[in-house]
Amino acid sequence: MSAPDMIDATRSLTSRQMALYRFTRNPAALIGAVIVISVIIAAIFAPLLAPFPESAGSFVDFRNRHAAPSWEHLMGTDNVGRDVFSRVLYGFRVSLGLVVGVLGVAVPFGVILGLVAGYFGGWTETIIMRFTDIMLALPPLAMALAITAVLSPNLVNAMIAITLLWWTWHTRLIFRIVKAQMNEDYVEAAQVAGASHFHILFRELLPNCISAIAVKISLDAGFVILFGASLSFLGLGIQPPTPDLGTMVATGSEYMPEMWWQAVMPGLAILYAILGFNLLGDGLRDMLDVEL
Amino acid sequence: MSALLEIDNLSIGFRAYGQYRRVLHDVSLTVGEGERVSLIGQSGSGKTVTMRTIIGTLPMPPGVVEAGTIRYDGRSLLDLNKIERNKLKGTGISIVLQDPMLSFNPVLTIGRQMDDIVRYADSRLGQSRSTARRRAHIVDTLAKVQLSEGARILDSYPIMLSGGMRQRVLIGMALLNKPRLLIADEPGTALDVTTQDEILALLNMLVAEEGLSLLLITHNLGVVREMADRVYVMDKGRIVEKGTRDAIFTAPQHDYTKRLMAAVPPLYGPDVVTIENHHTDPNPAIRIAGVSKDFVGRSGMFHQQRTLHRAVDKVSFDVMPGDIFGLAGESGSGKTTLAKMTLGLINPSEGNIRIDGQDIAQIAGTADFRKLIQIVYQNPGSSLNPRRTITDQIAVPLKFTGHETARIKTRVGELLEMVDLPADMANMYPHELSGGQKQRVAIARALSVNPRILVLDEPTSALDVLVQSTVIDLLHRLRDEFDLTYLFISHDLSLMRNFCNRVGVMLRGQIVEEGPVADVFGNPTHAYTKALLSAIPVTTDEAEAQKPIVSKEERAAVLNPSTAIGG
């Protein structure tokens, strides 16, 4: 009721400036952004940053195996003498590759289905949304295990398994937003102006979903990393010697608790990356003022 | 006369986004015992901030009281502690909010919500009453707001009551704990004009009979004339003029007050503008012949029953080229349904519509049809896409009627100039524009393909009255310049009197009266037209005297009384 009066106080700022202000006043979001950027840099420049780049492969140095963390090996070495810190940096690469691969396919697919279902309604909506409901009813880990077990476990198949399950959340989110947008007159205005369905879907409706998609992707990234790591931990994801964080935790756990760093350090790395994406996602949500 | 409420040099600011902005500047205002005071202002003038500071619901932070005092009955409200302050809620100062639907919790019965108010007030004052006594007290209070079926209302949920009844219950709620000062924030604004009229009469009666003082917050000058002894005019956080009602209405001093007065379209009197149509083309631009529309409703959760609801009932009329045809009616009268059928967005159940001689069933959806007729919506906040630039939006009709990309840009420039907007707005987003500017963009978009007919669906009802008058002037100018025909849909009859040359009055899907404006307004024949006209709050005594007289029986025959439970 007092909205006009309240807005008046800030009228000299653009909404972009206000959003940026909200973001910079949110320490958690800033920390999240710094963590995510550091993970991305680590992944891209792993060969340059890693003190022992050869550790990423099937390198063996038995004289140095099970070395505790030291200045030379910040996170110690593993059971064949590879530098855990170097492998963690490469591990970020694999994790981010998984995120890009999964979300790169699942998000566009899910978003388009959500747009179409929300815009056309009727039978189109019923078919798409009920199918989405069925996919959502399948227990994700069990499904992923089944798929990777059938297709032979490797990075690509893990990606396919996660992608097959992931798009549903985006379909639901976008469907709900589009349904709400359909009450706005601008959709009808575009129809009166003779706009094509393609135009209304991608030029009118999609821009109104972008903030929500951005927030969802950021929150998703953490979960995809976790999901991928879980699969690898169970031996159904990425296979050695590829340096995957989940596989490293699984292998390292055999030497717990004496040589704790082999499992704990990659575990902390997973925690670090997920925390970063989640904090960033929450910050974006406050900044862009969207509800998920 | 001792002052019950006394605001002295109140200054309030907001701290937000690292900036500080003062929104109230040295506001002083008094309400005497038994007095009716109005605070007039447009949106953003600071009247709501003033009200919320009085009742203590202004969020602080971001709100900051810089200076000034508010005294109620001699006590300084801003210095009271929370407990003392709460004791005054409902018992000293009470408030009636604007939107009767939003003010209720939809999942609780009216009785439960009213009982809560009595119970909490009792506990604040350290007394207690039995459930039966509280209920009796509530029923008595409802009788005061002319709701005789108190017991039935108490067992109803908010959705079961009509808008007018909800507003009455809301006033009843405010009166439950016998306040001395009633603050009313735009009472009845969300309701139809005939219901609003009843609500205003009720408030006046309560002030007279219960000895209440009233602080009325509104943007409607007509309402103020009926409801105030003294008036304060607020603009940009300042009181720019104050005085008795007669002084303000007969001899406004401040420039802003004068402009405000001049912007209100007069219903009767010497300032009324009569629009004429000089076209002689005998072929109608729009011919609506025996058009009806039925909607299918479903009721019941398991055994679905199909019920037909007739929204438009055998309507026929012609709009001639050059006409500004006003379709008047209250909410639910079927005027918007009729407009959507005219645009080919929904199909009539019976009858046919011809646009420029061609049957709409044949041509709807074609590019030629779109070049014939376009629409301007009520709320530009909703009809413009918040995520697209002004150019992108105006270009849509051009793109889909086969304009070349290269020419679109120059055309958008022309269109912006046509609606008096600066060219540098082309790359802005809607939120960077004011309400009036947004509506101009919507008009530019509708005109982009040079249509011959525009459907105007309440194009100014979301705008302040000063902005409204500039948009109306623009629409008149464009009609003369481009030879346009308008179908204008509105509930605002004063505006229609000055904007249209012909009007049709709709009631429950039917056109009950139709003709040139001067005839319909000067000599209404149907009881509903008379009831509508007599309910409009006007700003001069002459206009008041010229309103048609409608008997109670005539009124009752055409209106759903707002005091009975129904639909």
Rg (alpha carbons) of chain B, rounded to whole number: 26
- CB–CB contact A17 B392 (8 Å): no
Chain A within 8 Å of B396 (Cβ-Cβ)?
A: yes
Looking at the DSSP assignment, which residues form a beta bridge with residue B33?
none
DSSP annotation string for B496-528 = HHHH-SEEEEEETTEEEEEEEHHHHHHS--SHH
What pLDDT, on a 0 to 100 scale, did the predictor assign at position A6? 40
Amino acid at residue number B98: Q
Residue B21 has its nearest CB partner, among A9, A21, A204, at: A9
What pLDDT, on a 0 to 100 scale, did the predictor assign at position B174? 87
**B134: number of Cβ within 10 Å:** 19
- Is the pLDDT assigned to residue B3 strictly greater than 90? no
Phi, psi of B240 (to 5 degrees): -95, -20
Measure the CA–CA gap between A99 and A280, rounded to whole angstroms.
15
What pLDDT, on a 0 to 100 scale, did the predictor assign at position B286? 93
Q: Are A49 and A42 in contact (CB under 8 A)?
A: yes
How far apart are the CA of B32 and the nearest CA of chain A, in angstroms? 26
- Average of pLDDT values for B164-192? 85
What pLDDT, on a 0 to 100 scale, did the predictor assign at position B355? 92
- Average of pLDDT values for B63-92? 83
- Chain B residues closer than 8 Å to A186 by CB: 382-385
Q: What CATH code is carried by the domain that includes residue B151?
A: 3.40.50.300
Q: Are A269 and A88 in contact (CB under 8 A)?
A: yes
Q: How many domains does one find in chain B? A: 1
- CB–CB contact B377 A189 (8 Å): yes
Q: How confident is the model at residue A8 (pLDDT cuts 50, 70, 90)?
A: very low
Q: Is residue B300 domain-resident?
A: no
- Is the pLDDT assigned to residue A55 strictly greater than 60? yes
What size, in residues, is chain B? 567
Q: How confident is the model at residue B565 (pLDDT cuts 50, 70, 90)?
A: very low
CA geometry: angle B321, B323, B325, nearest 5 deg: 130
Lowest mean pLDDT among A96-105, A168-177, B97-106: B97-106
Measure the CA–CA gap between B329 and B339, rounded to whole angstroms.
13
Residue B17 has its nearest CB partner, among A18, A184, A189, at: A18
pLDDT digit string (tens) for B210-228? Answer: 888 999 999 888 889 888 9
A:B CB pairs within 8 Å: 104
Residue A207 has its nearest CB partner, among B367, B388, B442, at: B388
Q: Is residue B444 domain-resident?
A: no
**DSSP character for B187?**
T
Measure the CA–CA gap between A229 and A222, rounded to whole angstroms.
11
Amino acid at residue number A38: S
Residue A193 has its nearest CB partner, among B99, B397, B432, at: B397
Amino acid at residue number A101: G
pTM recorded for the entire structure: 0.84
- Is the pLDDT assigned to residue B132 strictly greater than 70? yes
Residues 167-206 of B with CB under 8 A from A: 185
Chain A within 8 Å of B458 (Cβ-Cβ)?
A: no
Q: How confident is the model at residue A3 (pLDDT cuts 50, 70, 90)?
A: very low
Measure the CA–CA gap between B555 and B59, rounded to whole angstroms.
44
Sheet holding B373-376, edge to edge: B373-376, B453-457, B485-490, B324-328, B502-507, B510-516
Task: Give chain A's domains with CATH numbers.
Answer: 83-288 (1.10.3720.10)
- CB–CB contact A8 B13 (8 Å): no
Q: Are B268 and B261 in contact (CB under 8 A)?
A: no
- CB–CB contact A193 B370 (8 Å): yes
Measure the CA–CA gap between B333 and A9, rounded to whole angstroms.
39
Amino acid at residue number A215: V
Measure the CA–CA gap between A244 and A282, rounded to whole angstroms.
27
Rg (alpha carbons) of chain A, rounded to whole number: 23
Residue B396 has its nearest CB partner, among A21, A22, A190, at: A190
Q: How confident is the model at residue A1 (pLDDT cuts 50, 70, 90)?
A: very low
Percent of chain B with pLDDT over 90: 30
Residues 85-124 of B with CB under 8 A from A: 97-99
Lowest mean pLDDT among A179-183, A214-218, B95-99, B458-462: B95-99
Q: How confident is the model at residue B325 (pLDDT cuts 50, 70, 90)?
A: very high
- Average of pLDDT values for A34-60? 84
Q: Is residue B245 domain-resident?
A: yes
> Which position has the higher pLDDT, A287 or A60?
A287
- Is the pLDDT assigned to residue A225 strictly greater than 60? yes
- CB–CB contact A9 B23 (8 Å): yes
Measure the CA–CA gap between B377 and A184, rounded to whole angstroms.
11
Chain B within 8 Å of A137 (Cβ-Cβ)?
A: no
**B237: number of Cβ within 10 Å:** 24
**DSSP character for B284?**
-
> Which position has the higher pLDDT, B542 or A119?
A119
- Is the pLDDT assigned to residue A13 strictly greater than 70? no
Closest chain B residue to the Cα of A183, Cα to Cα: B382
Q: Is residue B388 domain-resident?
A: no
Q: From residue B16, give the alpha-carbon distance in Å to each of A6, A11, A13, B54, B119.
A: 9, 11, 10, 22, 37
- Chain A residues closer than 8 Å to B370 by CB: 192-194
- Chain A residues closer than 8 Å to B13 by CB: 9
- Average of pLDDT values for B533-547? 86
Q: Are B144 and B206 in contact (CB under 8 A)?
A: yes
Measure the CA–CA gap between B3 and B126, rounded to whole angstroms.
28
What pLDDT, on a 0 to 100 scale, did the predictor assign at position B156? 87
Phi, psi of A17 (to 5 degrees): -65, -40
How far apart are the CA of B279 and the nearest CA of chain A, in angstroms? 27
Residues 4-33 of B with CB under 8 A from A: 13-14, 16-19, 21, 23
**DSSP character for B174?**
H
Percent of chain A with pLDDT over 70: 94
CA geometry: angle B266, B267, B269, nearest 5 deg: 75
Q: Is residue B546 domain-resident?
A: no
Q: HSE on the CB side for B237, CA within 13 Å?
A: 17
What pLDDT, on a 0 to 100 scale, did the predictor assign at position A9? 40
How far apart are the CA of B513 and the nearest CA of chain A, in angstroms? 30
> Nearest-CA neighbor of B123 among B75, B158, B91, B155?
B91
- Average of pLDDT values for B316-340? 90
pLDDT digit string (tens) for B371-383? Answer: 899 999 988 889 9
pLDDT digit string (tens) for B11-40? Answer: 998 887 777 888 889 999 999 988 999 999
Q: What is the 3-state secondary structure (H, E, C) of B427-448?
A: HCCHHHCCHHHHHHHHHHHHHC
Q: Show Cβ contacts of residue B159 under 8 Å, excluding neighbours closer than 6 positions.
A: B106
Q: How confident is the model at residue A7 (pLDDT cuts 50, 70, 90)?
A: very low
Q: Which residue has the tokens 């891209």?
A: A44
Q: Compute the Cα dihedral for B521, B527, B529, B530 and give only its sign.
A: positive
Lowest mean pLDDT among A60-74, B110-124, B183-197: A60-74
Q: Show Cβ contacts of residue A106 under 8 Å, excluding neighbours closer than 6 positions.
A: A162, A163, A166, A167, A170
Q: Is residue B524 domain-resident?
A: no
Looking at the DSSP assignment, which residues form a beta bridge with residue B373?
B453
pLDDT digit string (tens) for A150-174? Answer: 888 777 888 888 888 889 999 999 9
Measure the CA–CA gap between B445 and B392, rounded to whole angstroms.
10
Chain B within 8 Å of A152 (Cβ-Cβ)?
A: no
Contacts 24+ apart (CB under 8 A), B296-305: none
**DSSP character for B378?**
S
Measure the CA–CA gap between A114 and B405, rounded to whole angstroms.
30
Measure the CA–CA gap between B47 and B24, rounded to whole angstroms.
9
- Chain A residues closer than 8 Å to B379 by CB: 185
What ipTM, to 2 d.p.? 0.80
- CB–CB contact A195 B400 (8 Å): yes
What pLDDT, on a 0 to 100 scale, did the predictor assign at position B130? 85
- Is the pLDDT assigned to residue B561 strictly greater than 60? no
Chain B within 8 Å of A13 (Cβ-Cβ)?
A: yes
Could you list the residue range(s) of the whole structural domain that residue B94 is in? Answer: 3-263
Sheet holding B63-72, edge to edge: B19-32, B3-16, B63-72, B75-76
> Nearest-CA neighbor of B540 among B121, B251, B149, B234?
B251
- Chain A residues closer than 8 Å to B375 by CB: 189, 192
- Maximum CA extent, chain A: 77
> Which position has the higher pLDDT, A139 or B288?
B288
Element at B455 (helix H, strand E): strand B453-457
Q: How confident is the model at residue A292 (pLDDT cuts 50, 70, 90)?
A: low
Closest chain A residue to the Cα of B62, Cα to Cα: A6
Q: Is residue B375 domain-resident?
A: no
Q: Which of B170, B238, B387, B412 to mutate to test the interface with A (most CBs of A within 10 A)?
A: B387
Q: Is residue B217 domain-resident?
A: yes
Residue B375 has its nearest CB partner, among A18, A22, A192, at: A192
Q: Show Cβ contacts of residue B13 under 8 Å, excluding neighbours closer than 6 positions.
A: A9, B20, B21, B22, B23, B24, B63, B64, B66
Q: Which of B12, B15, B17, B366 to mutate to test the interface with A (most CBs of A within 10 A)?
A: B17
pLDDT digit string (tens) for B480-524? Answer: 999 999 999 998 888 999 999 999 999 988 999 999 999 999 899
- Is the pLDDT assigned to residue B564 strictly greater than 60? no
Q: Are B509 and B310 in contact (CB under 8 A)?
A: yes
Amino acid at residue number B558: V
- CB–CB contact B17 A204 (8 Å): no
- Chain B residues closer than 8 Å to A208 by CB: 385-387
- CB–CB contact B396 A1 (8 Å): no
Amino acid at residue number B201: A
